[in-house]
């Protein structure tokens, strides 16, 4: 019983009782017995929906009670605010909660005053690099979804971050929450933690495969679900669930599929709706439309009116929570979702259908089956405790062979083991630089010793591999002048420190530095190039003609030209922008050139080229050839050229955004969601900010151009609106309308006739008032007062 848990702060047990939590679930009780609330580190490997969050909360609250701060690490930014909201119920008991997202380089000092801090592993990593003082005060860290150490992109960051936190504070209580995996004991070994491992679920789960006219369950039973002539399997299953008053969560493999499936399911659901439900859904659709005036809003609202919705990471956050809430309230009957957020979002459903068990894989090519763990996490969403007698998870097969494969691969399968992905070059590149830069290690020996505290080392007896990759990476970092080695000592250069603090992948930094230097060297040529670009169509000649320049696309190249080597040691501070900038004004890189530069770094996830794109962007590429900060690869360098074009597509999206192209146009043109535009814009802002700092530190003149390109991305406006769009509550559309009404600057706005402003803001009084206040406009009455005051003051 909660009241019997040792070391819980007063009020917590009562609070839990108030929420209907009278008794701990068995895995929770086991964790408490293992010392969860007494500072014991713990790995909990239990199925989805079996109460891991409460395990985390009990650990954090008791740790805070003992003194110190608790940190909860989430795998995705999209989940951070969700967890924060969940933890905020503890504010009634006097615990404060803070979420740390946004800018990587900020040190987040304000977080020091919080009891519970929620952040992604990338953010925590960055806070460690920037010496956030509160890191020293941590008494408990929780790693949510720790099985993601297996993820080749993000796993290593989680792994290194946990290792660093534990090194900073050897007494740190580490609680790792994991889905059911095959080797949780190895994770427990690594973290010196007790292991709680369980298959227990609060509600029974039956897994099965639908084939023909029935679901075949794992216990040998069958359920008739006939598929009518014109129906698809999913539709028949949704229909069947609805007939029993249940809801369905359908997992598909892409956003587009989620949207089209939701559209179809709305047709199925509609006929089952009561009049009252229809009215409520219309109201919900209205709220969805109000979030934003875009096609995405309309598409979602249209489905919702029929009782179905789609759910994926491209959705605006407000849309997501409206959809999730309505599904939990059983107003929405079907959600068609991609698996991205399946693990983190608490949306249980009577029946789960895993429609797609394969997904397109760019790396291996073609359709690849999903991991067992991923499928199990989706299936785990089936069954709402207290509402359903049991949950059902159904996979779909069109033939018996597939049915057998699905049983083999997913239904009967033991969970996969997780395997550290740390010993890969891209991962170590960034983490070794950070480890050196923040003083965790200053020699090859010390680095290897630090790496010994990682899961990778726990899992492999083979230290040779880590050592080999470490040497390769150190050579790369030295070649690009991010580190210096003298005898046995390794230290970060000034640029190296900056790169680490800015949270850049060293390869991104090298690419940016190469590009900016290329621009500097070719400053005079760009203009000349523009005039004779039409004559330069012989691609084969170009690499030879430009011999001697470092090709920015050659990622392994030695980044620094000799002549610039000294610049690294220059004091890069801001102050004396001498006459240089004005001289170089004409030679500033263009926004498109800069957007392309940041788009080709590994820190920007690229848009893929679709059919027809190659032609479009090849043409665009030659049109803007003189603007690129780097040599355009020859079309014969197949992969490099393709990458260049993909980066150009991303750059063009950013350029469209910065040229005030409508959001709907952009989503349509590039086949992305509004959430993606925001994601790309934020990444570009961050990378351009980093480029600006690097340029400053290297004494390059392109800073002016970078700053402007960054501001235009930030506000999504053309140059002439930069001044206006910076005013709070103005934004790109309003700035344009004001500008067209003759209000072209902040100064204009302060002086403008109120009726003009109001007209431009389409008669919204309140908005107009707020904006005028934000721009610092004095109301007439105030003017009178100050006018009257001044002479008096003078006389006085």
Residues found near ligand ADP in the complex (CB under 6 A): 21, 24-25, 28, 48-54, 346
Closer residue to ligand ADP (CB): 49 or 249: 49
Show the CA angle centred on residue 221, arms to residues 220 and 225, nearest 5°.
130
For the bound state, the minimum distance from the C-beta of residue 222 to ligand ADP, rounded and expressed in Å, comes to 29
In angstroms, rounded to a whole number, what is the distance separating the alpha carbons of residues 481 and 503? Answer: 17
For the bound state, the minimum distance from the C-beta of residue 26 to ligand ADP, rounded and expressed in Å, comes to 9
Closer residue to ligand ADP (CB): 343 or 436: 343
For the bound state, the minimum distance from the C-beta of residue 39 to ligand ADP, rounded and expressed in Å, comes to 22
Closer residue to ligand ADP (CB): 31 or 301: 31
For the bound state, the minimum distance from the C-beta of residue 55 to ligand ADP, rounded and expressed in Å, comes to 8
Closer residue to ligand ADP (CB): 202 or 212: 202
Structure tokens at 412: 């009967």
For the bound state, the minimum distance from the C-beta of residue 333 to ligand ADP, rounded and expressed in Å, comes to 20
Closer residue to ligand ADP (CB): 48 or 349: 48
For the bound state, the minimum distance from the C-beta of residue 179 to ligand ADP, rounded and expressed in Å, comes to 9
Q: Which pairs with CB-CB distance under 8 Å and at least 24 residues apart come from 267-271?
A: 267/306, 268/235, 268/238, 268/239, 268/242, 268/308, 268/334, 269/238, 269/242, 269/306, 269/307, 269/308, 269/333, 269/334, 270/306, 270/307
Nearest CA-CA partner of 177 in 2, 55, 348: 55
Closer residue to ligand ADP (CB): 99 or 451: 99
Whole-Å CA distances, 99 to 102, 114, 501: 10, 9, 20
The kind and range of the H/E element at 640 are helix 638-657
In angstroms, rounded to a whole number, what is the distance separating the alpha carbons of residues 226 and 228? Answer: 6
For the bound state, the minimum distance from the C-beta of residue 485 to ligand ADP, rounded and expressed in Å, comes to 46
For the bound state, the minimum distance from the C-beta of residue 344 to ligand ADP, rounded and expressed in Å, comes to 8
Closer residue to ligand ADP (CB): 29 or 609: 29
Closer residue to ligand ADP (CB): 23 or 569: 23
For the bound state, the minimum distance from the C-beta of residue 23 to ligand ADP, rounded and expressed in Å, comes to 6
Which residues lie closer than 8 Å to 70 by C-beta, 6 or more apart? 59, 60, 61, 63, 64, 115, 116, 117, 138, 139, 140, 141, 142
Closer residue to ligand ADP (CB): 146 or 237: 146
For the bound state, the minimum distance from the C-beta of residue 348 to ligand ADP, rounded and expressed in Å, comes to 8
Q: Count CA atoms closer than 13 A to 564's CA, side-chain side.
A: 22
Structure tokens at 308: 């179905």
Closer residue to ligand ADP (CB): 145 or 723: 145
For the bound state, the minimum distance from the C-beta of residue 50 to ligand ADP, rounded and expressed in Å, comes to 5
Nearest CA-CA partner of 242 in 334, 363, 367: 334
Q: At what angle do helices 425-437 and 155-168 cross, to 10 degrees?
A: 30
The single residue listed with the structure tokens 């993820």 is 151
Closer residue to ligand ADP (CB): 91 or 569: 91
> 133 and 109 in contact (C-beta within 8 Å)?
yes
Q: What secondary structure, in 3-state letters, does 219-258 show?
A: CCCEEECCCCCCCCHHHHHHHHHHHCCCCEEEECCCHHHH
The single residue listed with the structure tokens 């067992």 is 372
> 512 and 687 in contact (C-beta within 8 Å)?
yes
Whole-Å CA distances, 569 to 21, 279, 702: 61, 68, 18
The single residue listed with the structure tokens 């920037």 is 130
> 200 and 24 in contact (C-beta within 8 Å)?
no
Strands (E), 101-213: 116-120, 138-143, 173-178, 194-197, 205-211
Structure tokens at 385: 């405790």
Closer residue to ligand ADP (CB): 25 or 72: 25
For the bound state, the minimum distance from the C-beta of residue 553 to ligand ADP, rounded and expressed in Å, comes to 44
Strand arrangement, sheet containing 214-217: 222-224, 214-217, 205-211, 391-396, 351-354, 248-251, 334-337, 308-311
In angstroms, rounded to a whole number, what is the distance separating the alpha carbons of residues 479 and 258? Answer: 46
Closer residue to ligand ADP (CB): 184 or 502: 184
For the bound state, the minimum distance from the C-beta of residue 163 to ligand ADP, rounded and expressed in Å, comes to 24
Closer residue to ligand ADP (CB): 28 or 745: 28
For the bound state, the minimum distance from the C-beta of residue 94 to ligand ADP, rounded and expressed in Å, comes to 21
Show the CA angle centred on residue 466, arms to residues 463 and 471, nearest 5°.
125
């Amino acid at each position: 019983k909660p009241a019997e848990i040792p070391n819980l702060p007063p009020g917590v047990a009562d609070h839990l009782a108030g929420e209907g939590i009278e008794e701990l679930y068995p895995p929770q009780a086991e964790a408490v017995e293992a010392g969860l609330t007494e500072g014991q580190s713990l790995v909990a490997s239990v199925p989805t929906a079996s109460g891991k969050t409460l395990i985390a909360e009990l650990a954090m609250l008791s740790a805070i009670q003992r003194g110190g701060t608790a940190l909860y690490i989430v795998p995705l930014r999209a989940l951070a605010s969700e967890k924060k909201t969940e933890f905020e119920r503890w504010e009634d008991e006097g615990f404060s909660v803070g979420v740390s997202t946004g800018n990587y380089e900020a040190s987040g000092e304000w977080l020091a005053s919080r009891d519970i801090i929620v952040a992604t592993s990338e953010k925590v990593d960055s806070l460690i690099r920037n010496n956030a003082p509160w890191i020293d005060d941590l008494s408990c860290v929780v790693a949510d979804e720790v099985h993601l150490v297996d993820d080749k992109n993000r796993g290593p960051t989680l792994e290194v971050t946990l290792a660093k936190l534990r090194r900073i504070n050897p007494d740190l209580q580490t609680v790792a929450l994991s889905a059911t995996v095959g080797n949780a004991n190895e994770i427990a070994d690594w973290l010196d933690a007790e292991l709680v491992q369980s298959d227990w679920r609060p509600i029974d789960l039956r897994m099965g495969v639908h084939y023909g006219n029935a679901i075949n369950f794992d216990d040998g039973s069958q359920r008739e679900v006939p598929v009518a002539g014109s129906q698809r399997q999913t539709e028949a299953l949704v229909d069947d669930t609805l007939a029993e008053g249940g809801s369905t969560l359908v997992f598909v493999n892409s956003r587009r599929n989620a949207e089209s499936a939701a559209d179809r399911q709305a047709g199925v659901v509609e006929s089952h709706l009561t009049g009252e439900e229809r009215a409520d859904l219309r109201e919900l659709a209205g709220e969805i439309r109000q979030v934003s005036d875009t096609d995405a809003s309309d598409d979602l609202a249209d489905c919702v009116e029929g009782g179905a919705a789609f759910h994926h990471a491209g959705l605006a956050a407000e849309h997501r929570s409206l959809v999730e809430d309505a599904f939990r309230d059983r107003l929405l009957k079907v959600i068609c979702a991609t698996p991205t957020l399946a693990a983190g979002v608490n949306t249980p459903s009577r029946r789960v259908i895993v429609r797609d068990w394969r997904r397109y894989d760019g790396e291996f090519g073609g359709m690849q089956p999903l991991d067992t763990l991923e499928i199990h996490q989706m299936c785990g969403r089936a069954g709402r405790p207290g509402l359903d007698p049991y949950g059902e998870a159904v996979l779909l097969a069109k033939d018996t062979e597939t049915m057998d494969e699905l049983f083999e691969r997913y239904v009967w399968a033991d969970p996969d083991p997780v395997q550290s992905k740390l010993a890969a070059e891209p991962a170590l590149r960034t983490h070794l630089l950070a480890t050196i830069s923040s003083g965790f290690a200053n020699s090859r020996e010390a680095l290897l010793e630090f790496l010994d505290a990682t899961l990778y080392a726990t899992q492999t007896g083979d230290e040779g591999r880590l050592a080999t990759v470490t040497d390769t990476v150190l050579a790369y970092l030295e070649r690009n002048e991010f580190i210096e080695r003298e005898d046995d000592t390794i230290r970060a250069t000034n640029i190296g420190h900056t790169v680490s603090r800015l949270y850049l992948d060293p390869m991104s930094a090298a690419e940016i530095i190469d590009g900016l230097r290329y621009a500097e060297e070719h400053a005079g040529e760009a203009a000349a190039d523009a005039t004779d670009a039409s004559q330069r169509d012989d691609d084969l000649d170009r690499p030879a003609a430009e011999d001697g320049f470092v090709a920015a696309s050659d990622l392994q190249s030695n980044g620094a030209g000799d002549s610039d080597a000294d610049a690294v040691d220059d004091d890069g501070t801001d102050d004396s922008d001498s006459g240089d900038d004005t001289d170089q004004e004409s030679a500033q890189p263009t926004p498109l050139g800069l957007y392309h530069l940041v788009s080709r770094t590994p820190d920007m996830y690229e848009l893929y080229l679709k059919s027809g794109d190659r032609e479009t962007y090849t043409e665009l590429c030659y049109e803007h050839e003189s603007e690129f900060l780097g040599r355009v690869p020859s079309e014969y360098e197949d992969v490099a050229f393709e990458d260049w074009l993909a980066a150009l597509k991303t750059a063009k999206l950013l350029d469209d955004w910065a040229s005030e192209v409508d959001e709907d146009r952009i989503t349509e043109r590039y086949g992305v969601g509004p959430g993606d535009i925001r994601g790309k814009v934020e990444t570009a802002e961050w990378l351009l900010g980093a480029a600006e700092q690097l340029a400053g530190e290297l004494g390059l003149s392109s800073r002016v151009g970078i700053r402007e390109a960054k501001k235009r991305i930030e506000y999504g406006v053309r140059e002439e609106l930069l001044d206006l769009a910076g005013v709070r509550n103005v934004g790109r559309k309003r700035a344009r309308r004001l500008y067209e009404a003759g209000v072209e600057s902040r100064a204009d706005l302060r002086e403008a006739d109120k009726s003009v402003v109001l007209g431009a803001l389409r008669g919204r009084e309140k908005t107009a008032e707020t904006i005028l206040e934000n721009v610092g406009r004095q109301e007439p009455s105030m003017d009178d007062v100050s006018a009257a005051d001044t002479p008096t003051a003078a006389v006085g």
